[in-house]
Chain A
Amino acid sequence: MKKNFLEINNVTFSASSQNKINNVSLTIENQGDIVCLLGPSGIGKTTILRTIAGLEKNNSGTITLKDRILSSKEIQVEPEDRNIAMAFQDNSLFPHYSVFDNIKFGAERNKNKKKGLEINDIIKLLHIENIKDKYPHQISSGEAQRASLARSLLSNPDLLLLDEPLSNVDQNFKEEIQVRLKQILTEQKITTIIVTHDSYEAFYLGNKCGIILDGHLKQYDDPYNIYHFPNSIEVVNFLNRGTLIEAKVTGENSLESNDLGKITGDFIKHYPKGSNVKLLLQPEDLEHDDASDLKLKVVDRKFRGTNFIYTLKTSSDKLISVFVHSHHIHQHEIEEKFGIKRPIHIDHIVCF
């Protein structure tokens, strides 16, 4: 049987007596996989990373990395002996060393081990050239995050833990750094767990994502499934990428909604005919059609560059969102009527 690279087995992570994430079981199968953990602020995502790193104790369950038990009720391997690197959300650069020297600490840890990244390459990749001779107090928090990331990457650890690694990085840099980070992690086969509250970042970087809500790991799956097949109303609400509307199951592949009429598609989970369900409606599920007789009132319009997001009000006062390509011939103003293409067909129907 193939062994998992990292196994977290039934571990309760506790930041405080009130703030716990209970009985988490999670595996990373292959070296080089990237896992992103998503959840609201203050839920204890950082505690998970700190416990895996050995900075906090776990009193139940086991954490095993490459077949070696790191934490259990009886065993606690010291953080320095785990070969796990972590980039903290806050600046953890050594204040009395320059940025370059700080990054060098990472390289020094790796000097007798495997061949990996060169210090100058990573400095270039993460745009640190201009600040490398400065001291931590002379740089911005976004720059400090990049330097801290570089230090962790250079140490070439068995497991890399990144706590909101790009939360302070400037927006114009962020996407580029995300791309480069993913490239480095994949090329160097560095197994990584990333904690973030940015679902776009998680969906881009992660091979798998975990959603942590209400003290539990609610869903652990690949990003596509998390987005399209959320397993609970809580996950839908957390991701905030759709609206739940009342509907009645009318057949194998159809529903009837008071607001939108007949909707067809493939059910992910089947319900008996006549069941009242809540249907997940995501912005890309509906299409705009000026000629349609199904008209809804526009209450808001957001311009997002490549597209507009129209927020529409249904007859039962539900608010639903629809994407429209920004090159669409005309725009609809607030209070105007907006046509929805009929018949409505959704590839995969998710109901609760």
Chain B
Amino acid sequence: MGNKINFWFISSLLISALVAIPIITVLGSFFEPISDYYNILKKTFLIDYLTNSLFLLIGVLFITFVIGVGCAYLVSFYIFPAVNFFKWALILSFAVPAYIYAYSLTAFFENYGTVFAILNNLFGEGNYNAYIPKFDGLLGAIIAISFSLFGYVYVLTRASFHYQSQNLVELGKNLGFSKKRSFFNIILPSARPAIVAGLSLVAMETLSDFGSVSYFGVSTLTTGIYSAWISFDDLTLANRLSSYLLIFIIGLFILENLSRKKAQFHTSSKGGHRTKTLIKLNGYKSFLAFIFCFTIFLISFLFPVTQMLYWTIIFPQHLENLDVFKLFLNTINLVIISSFFLIILAFISNYGNRVSKSKLLQILNTISISGYAIPGIILAVAFITFISWMDSNIINYFEMGSIKSFFIGSTLGLVLVYFIRFYSLANNGIKSGYAKINYSIDEGAYLLGYSKFKTFKNIHVPYLKNSIFLVSILLTIEIIKELPITLILRPFNFETFATKAYLFASQDLLEAAAAPSLILIIIASFFILITSRYILKE
């Protein structure tokens, strides 16, 4: 059965190879001559890029750890007012991209901003600006990114706590541990792989963040890549910087992968698993738990939504001037086309892997799913580099017309890079669905006379319809929020809610950015709500 070169093997190989192109392109920059700009950069801003990226990372990891694990612990082990509401409400923070959070933060605390207006209304006119704290620069970026990303840590840790057995909790009691000691010595270590996995995702997203750091004017490796390409028009430099970031991220990726492998070791839910008995909190403890979760919900979701809503209401002309229908159509078009190809091809690739059991495919598959770890901005730049190289080396050789316009600044190019960026999301979603199908089910089908294609069509696809639904919703949310790739590769005059909000904000027109931001959050929240049951379960 194994190692046969057939349709499934070839398709799987091609898909994985396509997704691996950017990594190869970026790492290929090491073999290209260094430009003068690189030497200048090395003496001037490179250290800034690196230190800012590092501080940003440390700050975000610390905050997301405390908030994510704290909330997950409270809602998983205790009963307090509105606990069931918080279980799903806390994941709504996924709907707020960091760059929109950054706009809200600025709008709220800036001179003569929302806080100023509130104080003015409450206490009469005064010079409040001097007393209002300013959350901008690196601190602003840390807060914006943390509150939009803590959901990763929350969801994964909560899932891990959720499946922890009552036996484990009782073990602590039997050993005479205090609640605090039980938490630090038993509960937390057993959820460690989930927490590390969550933090790794946060780290990757943080390092690839472009919208909020560029808005707050923080120079990180990501903004460095953008300006190397836009300001210096030096693709080699952009790629070289990308490769540094990539090496950093691959390190994190390996760490996350190792941690996941250990996660299998940690889940011993077979056999003696018993559902936990939740502890009812009373008095001030119940109040404190409620306040903690409510504050996080308030800061992460209600605050940016209210701020955007407030501006949309008081500046209705911006909403009126916005071609909502066209933006919606553009966004949904991208979502439908990209999701369609992503799911179909992820399916083919997974099935190819399953059928051929080839080591080569497994390795390529591992490389290809690292696309998610590569910042969108690197992917966009690598894609442009690759197309330019193809154009000047291969297409020119055969004296054909330029292919650049087909791929750069076109929907096709945009969809292709989305494909590379989100392939891992689609692939992992389908893969985790496939993991639940025992291989003997395939074999049972073959022995009932089903061909490989018929097994795929009649057995796998119907069985995985829930996974397909979940993956398509997650892709929708990600594509709606996506900024850097869309910004760089979109066709002329083509806008989405994300790019529209960014363009207004970058021109300091925050009031105008509010309406597209609000609509984006509402759409993303809608999709999150319809999948919250699955997200919390998986």
Interface set of A (CB-CB < 8 Å, partner B): 50, 53-57, 78-80, 83-86, 88, 90-96, 105-106, 108-109, 148, 151-152, 155
Which B residues are in CB contact (< 8 Å) with A85? 447-448
The answer to whether A106 touches B1 (Cβ under 8 A) is no
Q: Which of A50, A83, A91, A95 contacts B463 (CB 8 A)?
A: A95
Please pick, from B1, B440, B463, the residue contacting A88 in the complex, using a CB distance under 8 A: B440
Q: Is B272 an interface residue (CB 8 A)?
A: no
Within 8 Å CB of A84, what residues of B?
Answer: 447
**Do the beta carbons of A55 and B448 come within 8 Å of each other?**
no
Which residues in chain B, 201-237, are within 8 Å of chain A measured between CB atoms? none
Closest to A86 in B: B447
In the complex, the answer to whether B446 meets A79 with C-beta atoms within 8 Å is: yes
CB neighbours (8 Å) of B462 from chain A are 96
Docked complex Cα distance between A96 and B436 (Å):
12
Partner pick for B443 among A88, A105, A109, CB 8 A cutoff: A88
Chain B residue numbers with a CB within 8 Å of A54 are 1, 446
5 cross-chain pairs, A with B, having the tightest CB-CB distances, nearest first? A92-B444, A79-B446, A92-B440, A96-B463, A109-B449
Q: How far is the CA of A127 from the CA of B443 in the complex (A)?
A: 25
Query: Bound complex: CA of A78 vs CA of B2, how far in Å?
Result: 11
CB neighbours (8 Å) of B440 from chain A are 88, 90-92
Q: With contacts A55-B1, A95-B463, A155-B449 known, is A79 near B444, CB below 8 A? A: no
Complex Cα distance, B437 from A96, in Å, reads: 10
B378 to chain A, nearest CB (A): 40
With A and B bound together, what is the CA distance between A56 and B446 in angstroms? 13
- Whether B448 pairs with A155 at a CB distance below 8 angstroms is yes
Chain A residues closer than 8 Å to B2, beta-carbon distance: 57
How far does the Cβ of B354 sit from chain A's closest Cβ, in whole Å? 14
Interfacial chain A residues near B463, Cβ < 8 Å: 94-96
A85: nearest chain-B partner, CB-CB: B447
Contact indicator B438/A79 (Cβ below 8 Å): no
Q: Nearest residue in A to B459 (C-beta to C-beta)?
A: A94
A-B contact pairs, 5 of them (CB 8 A): A55-B446, A80-B452, A92-B444, A95-B463, A155-B448
Q: Are the CB atoms of A92 and B438 closer together than 8 Å?
A: yes
Indicate if the CB atoms of B449 and A78 lie closer than 8 Å.
no
A80 with B446: CB separation less than 8 A: yes
What is the CA–CA distance of A55 and B437 in the complex, to the nearest angstrom? 17
Chain A residue nearest to B449 (CB atoms) is A109
Interfacial chain B residues near A105, Cβ < 8 Å: 445, 448
**CA A104 to CA B218, docked complex, whole Å:** 64
Q: Chain B, 432-474, contact with A by CB distance < 8 Å: what is the 0/1 string?
A: 0000011011011111111110000001001100000000000
Interchain CB contact under 8 A, A94 and B441: yes
What is the chain A residue whose CB lies nearest that of B462? A96
Contact with A along B367-384 (1 / 0, CB 8 A): 000000000000000000
Cα separation A88 to B452 with both chains bound (whole Å): 19
Q: How many A-B residue pairs have CB under 8 A?
A: 68
B438 surroundings in chain A (CB, below 8 A): 90-92
Selected contact of B449 from candidates A80, A86, A95, CB within 8 Å: A80
Find out whether the CB atom of A86 lies under 8 angstroms from the CB atom of B451: no
- Smallest CB–CB gap between B311 and chain A, Å? 48
In the bound complex, CA of A56 to CA of B452 (Å): 16
In the assembled complex, how far is the CB of residue A199 from the closest CB belonging to chain B, in whole angstroms?
26
Evaluate contact between B1 and A86: CB separation under 8 angstroms. Answer: no
Q: With the chains together, A162 CA to B256 CA distance in Å? A: 42
B451 touches which of A80, A94, A96, A108 (Cβ 8 Å): A80
Instruction: Specify which chain A residues have a CB less than 8 angstroms from the CB of B444 in the assembled complex.
Output: 86, 88, 92-94, 148, 151
Given A88-B440, A88-B443, A96-B463, verify A109-B1 contact (CB < 8 Å): no
A92–B443 CB distance below 8 A: yes
- In the complex formed, the residue of B with least CB distance to A96 is B463
Smallest CB separation, A56 vs chain B (Å): 7
CB-defined contacts of B446 to chain A, threshold 8 Å: 54-55, 78-80
Chain A residues contacting B452 (CB-CB under 8 Å) are: 80
B450 CB contacts on chain A under 8 angstroms: 80
Q: Knowing A88-B440, A94-B441 touch, does A53 contact B447 (C-beta < 8 A)?
A: yes
Select from chain A the residue with minimum beta-carbon distance to B437.
A95
Q: How far is the CB of A257 from the nearest CB of chain B, in Å?
A: 50
CB neighbours (8 Å) of A155 from chain B are: 448-449
Query: Which of B438, B446, B448, B463 has the most A CB atoms < 10 Å from its CB?
Result: B448
Q: In the assembly, what is the distance between CA of A78 and CA of B453, in Å?
A: 13
- Nearest residue, chain B, Cβ from A152: B447
CB distance from B435 to the nearest CB of A (A): 13
Q: How far is the CB of A84 from chain B (nearest CB, A)?
A: 6
Residues of B within 8 A of A56 (CB): 1
Contacts of B459 in A (CB 8 A): 94
Interface centre among B440, B447, B449, B463 (most CB of A within 10 A): B447
A68 to B417, CA, bound (A): 51
Q: Chain A residues near B1: list those with CB within 8 A.
A: 54-57, 79
- Cα distance, A112 to B324, chains bound together (Å): 58
Q: How far is the CB of B275 from chain A (nearest CB, A)?
A: 18
B372 CB to closest chain A CB (Å) equals 29
Most A C-beta atoms less than 10 A away, residue of B1, B459, B463: B1
- Residues of chain B within 8 A (CB-CB) of A80 are 446-452
How long is the Cα–Cα vector from A85 to B447 in the complex, in angstroms?
Answer: 5
Q: If the complex has contacts A57-B2, A94-B459, A96-B463, are A109 and B441 also in contact, measured as CB distance less than 8 A? A: no
Contacts of A106 in B (CB 8 A): 448
Interface residues of B in 90-105 (CB under 8 A from A): none
B9 to chain A, nearest CB (A): 15
Q: How far is the CA of A155 from the CA of B444 in the complex (A)?
A: 12
Residues of chain B contacted by A94 (CB below 8 angstroms): 441, 444-445, 459, 463
Please report which residues of chain B, range 398-445, place their CB below 8 angstroms from some CB of chain A when the two chains form the complex. 437-438, 440-441, 443-445
A152 to B444, CA, bound (A): 9
| Contact (Cβ within 8 A) A151 B449 | no
Report Cα–Cα, A109/B463, bound state, in Å: 20
Instruction: Return B430 CB to nearest CB of chain A, in Å.
Output: 16
